[in-house]
């Protein structure tokens, strides 16, 4: 396993970077809430609005690189869980990147400026329809990424469970995050509003600390894995 030391170290760094991007997304400043549709369109060149879209573009990349390291470390112990979990995390990462690419490029570099600069009613109506329709496209991508993230994270959490207390803590945190995401998925798309009220409350009060903390813990665990596996065949 010595040949994997570089992978574990790269994954550890990526996990810490994903912790930083998580904290920025949850605790970083936001642009003022737009008062109407025109004000919403004017966000296309607002740095305080755009920076989180760029962070959201890179965040799943960091997290998925970390997941590759976790999968390599746990594969021998739990090949089924980590293989299926990695598939679902790949679905999440690619979908989230694509969603943010649409937001950064199509929405904020094309459709919003074109809507604000249109000089005739037909063009204004066409771009208005694009902007209104984008919400449905983005939400449909969120449908996919939320399910992928929840399922993959939950399965990775199960793969971590062992006799080691640190791995059990990491696994428990991942199971919590995965179950929360899947509960939110059910509440948003298939369940009663009471589920959404509960998951929203948990997201507001606990999610940021747990998500940031477990990504830091994963980074430390991956870094130590590089040394732990160095002398193994």
Q: Mind listing the pLDDT tens digit for each residue in 93-125? A: 999 999 999 999 999 999 999 999 988 999 899
Which residues lie below 8 Å from residue 61, measured CB to CB, with a gap of 6+? Answer: 14, 93, 97
Which DSSP state fits 21? H
> Does 165 map to a domain?
no
User: At 128, is the secondary structure helix, strand, or coil?
Assistant: helix
> Does 90 map to a domain?
yes
> Does 162 map to a domain?
no
Per-residue pLDDT, averaged over 118-139, amounts to: 92
| Residue 215 banded pLDDT, cuts 50, 70, 90 | very high
Number of domains present in the structure of the chain? 1
Say which range, 53-67, 107-121, 144-158, has the weakest mean pLDDT: 107-121
> Does 186 map to a domain?
no
Task: Note the pLDDT of residue 154.
Answer: 98
Per-residue pLDDT, averaged over 65-70, amounts to: 97
> Does 12 map to a domain?
yes
| Residue 194 banded pLDDT, cuts 50, 70, 90 | confident
The tokens describing 96, both together, are 């989230």
Domain encompassing residue 11: 2-141+207-228
Please give the Cα distance from 49 to 30 (Å, whole number): 6
> Does 199 map to a domain?
no
Contact 231, 17 (CB under 8 A): no
Position with higher pLDDT, 192 vs 6: 6
Q: Which residues of 120-132 are buried (b: 16+ CB within 10 A; e: fewer)?
A: eeeeeeebeebbe
- Is the pTM here over 0.85, yes or no? yes
> Does 60 map to a domain?
yes
Please give the distance of CA 141 from its chain centroid, rounded to a whole number: 12
> Does 22 map to a domain?
yes
């Amino acid at each position: 396993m010595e040949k994997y030391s570089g992978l574990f170290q790269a994954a550890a760094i990526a996990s810490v970077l994903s912790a930083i991007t998580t904290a920025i997304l949850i605790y970083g400043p936001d642009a003022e809430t737009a008062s109407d549709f025109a004000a919403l369109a004017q966000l296309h060149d607002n740095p305080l609005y755009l920076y989180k879209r760029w962070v959201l573009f890179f965040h799943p990349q960091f997290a998925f690189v970390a997941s590759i390291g976790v999968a390599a470390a746990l594969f021998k112990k739990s090949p089924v869980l980590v293989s299926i979990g990695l598939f679902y995390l790949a679905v999440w990462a690619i979908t989230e990147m694509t969603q943010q690419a649409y937001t950064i490029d199509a929405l904020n570099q094309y459709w919003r400026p074109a809507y604000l600069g249109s000089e005739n009613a037909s063009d204004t109506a066409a771009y208005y329809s694009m902007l209104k329709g984008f919400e449905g496209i983005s939400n449909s991508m969120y449908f996919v990424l939320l399910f992928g993230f929840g399922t993959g994270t939950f399965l990775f959490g199960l793969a971590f469970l062992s006799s080691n207390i640190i791995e059990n803590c990491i696994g428990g945190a991942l199971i919590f995050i995965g179950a929360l995401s899947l509960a939110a998925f059910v509440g948003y798309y298939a369940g009663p509003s009471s589920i959404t009220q509960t998951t929203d409350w948990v997201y507001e009060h606990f999610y940021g600390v747990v998500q940031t903390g477990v990504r830091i813990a994963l980074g430390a665990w991956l870094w130590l894995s590089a040394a732990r596996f160095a002398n193994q065949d």
